[in-house]
Amino acid sequence: MSVEGYHARRERTLWHVLGFGQGQIVAPGVTYWFENLGRKPDGVVVAQFCRKGRIVYRERKRRTEVPAGSLLLFAYNEDTAYGRPPEWRETYVCDHLALRGAGLVEHWSVLRRRFGSVLQPRTGSALHEQFLRLCEMASPQAGTGAFAMATAVHGFAMRIYQECEERVADGQSPVERAIDDLLRHPTYPWSLKEVALRHGCSREHLARVFHERMGLPPHKHLARVRLERALSLLRETHLPVAAIAVQSGFSTAHTLARCVREATGEAPSHLRPRKAL
């Protein structure tokens, strides 16, 4: 690969700010409407803070109002649109970031499927401050290096994840938080009693609600997830069985081997990939 080709590919791969705007003012009577379908280039995601006024976000046939203080997430070349209906006679002010890089569209998709495209940052959130810091770093006068920019964009995306999850957790009951803990960390070697105690609910209540939500008792669900991970590592890697046991949440390699035999009828050694000659 030539030097020019490498830099061009690196530019498309590393996370970076493609464009930004701060304090964009849309006066009353000015047309403000954008259709994202067909918008180029592909692979661009946008985070837009609504500082004053309000707009409408359309996703398929559903319209959602985006009030001041909201963060709107969308991507180019998707069937969505946003703007201000002509009958709304008020000033609109926003900041926006257009971001690009390998995998960013997938991250935006995961966030929006779980939390929606219109987010409400928590009171006292540092998210907007981090947003504005990205704008400063993206200015040509800042001279920010590609790796520093990629790190900053990643930090911003992770901050969105964190704030969304914390906001959801604020409205959850203790048993719901305990269940989410189990689902997020299925390979962690903790006991059900430990998780229940940590979140302030009884072991019995946790087991009952988990079963109702997941269709399996906690120990069976966790055993299935751990076994699936172990089988994947056995078939796709050359890691030692002992290391696979640790990474899959099994107490010992012997326990892993027993579970593998019960599930497949074979020893772990029979599932390993062939080594290249």
Mean pLDDT score, 172-194: 92
Output the CA–CA distances (angstroms, integers) from residue 136 to 70, 213, 243, in the order listed. Answer: 21, 45, 44
CA distance 89 to 249: 58
Alpha-carbon dihedral angle through residues 229, 230, 234, 235, given to the nearest 10 degrees = -40
Mean pLDDT score, 173-179: 94
Output the CA–CA distances (angstroms, integers) from residue 237 to 6, 222, 234, 243, 272, in the order listed. Answer: 30, 22, 6, 11, 7
Q: For the segment 42-96, what is each residue's pLDDT rounded down to a tens digit?
A: 999 999 999 999 999 999 889 999 999 999 999 999 999 999 998 898 999 999 9
pLDDT category of residue 276 using cuts at 50, 70 and 90? low
Mean pLDDT score, 145-153: 95
